[in-house]
Amino acid sequence: MNDMIQTIERIAGVNPRKCMKCGKCSGACPAYDEMEYHPHQFVDMVETGRIDELMHSKGIYTCLSCFACVERCPRSVEPAKIIEAVRLAVIRQQGQDHLKPEQIPGLLDEDLPQQAITSAFRKYRK
């Protein structure tokens, strides 16, 4: 379990133990209703080693890095980086891509900008 905490902290480059549980991150999060674990819970669950639960949560694909939590975190814990690290811990495993190229043609419409596809690939697959 400690190995996994270290892995997440290494990828994220931030320290969840600095969190003072003020809840500003979740208060600022526009995706709050779409996540079963909210940003402040992500931080707490990484700190206490409940990483497996986070790796199986859909919320890791719902956070889209708008940086509202990063901007408002008074302790520089930067929850978006922790959520990103958990997502990466999943998709860096063989066969765990969340989005596959063969899905793309079915998702396109006439106006969809390339930026959307590029972003989604960067976030959802390795």
Partner 1 sequence: MTFSYFPGCTLKTKAQDLDRWGRAAAKALGFELQELPEWQCCGAVYPLAKDEIATKLSSVRALAASRDLGQELVTLCSACHHVIKRVNGDMQNDKDIQTKVNNYLRLETPYTGQTSVLHYLEVLRDRVGFDEIAKRVKHPLTGRKIGAYYGCLLLRPSKEMGFDDPENPSIIEDFLRALGAEPVVYAMRNEYCGGYVTIENKSYAAKQVDRIMENARACGAQMLVTACPLCLYNLSVNATDGLPVQYFTQLLAEALGVKEEEDA
Catalog residues that contact partner 1 under the rule CB under 8 A. 10-13, 30-31, 34, 61-62, 64-68, 70-71, 78, 80-81, 84-85, 88, 99, 107, 109, 111-120, 122-123
Least Å from the CB of residue 47 to partner 1: 18
Least Å from the CB of residue 48 to partner 1: 22
DSSP per position, 63-117: -----HHHHH-TTS--HHHHHHHHHHHHHTSTT--SS-GGGHHHH--TT--HHHH
Residue 122 is inside which H or E element, if any? Answer: helix 114-124
- Between 5 and 11, whose beta carbon lies closer to partner 1? 11
Angle, vertex CA 9, rays to CA 98 and CA 59, nearest 5: 35
Least Å from the CB of residue 17 to partner 1: 17
- Between 7 and 50, whose beta carbon lies closer to partner 1? 7
- Between 12 and 19, whose beta carbon lies closer to partner 1? 12
C-beta separation of 43 from 37 below 8 A: no
Least Å from the CB of residue 126 to partner 1: 10
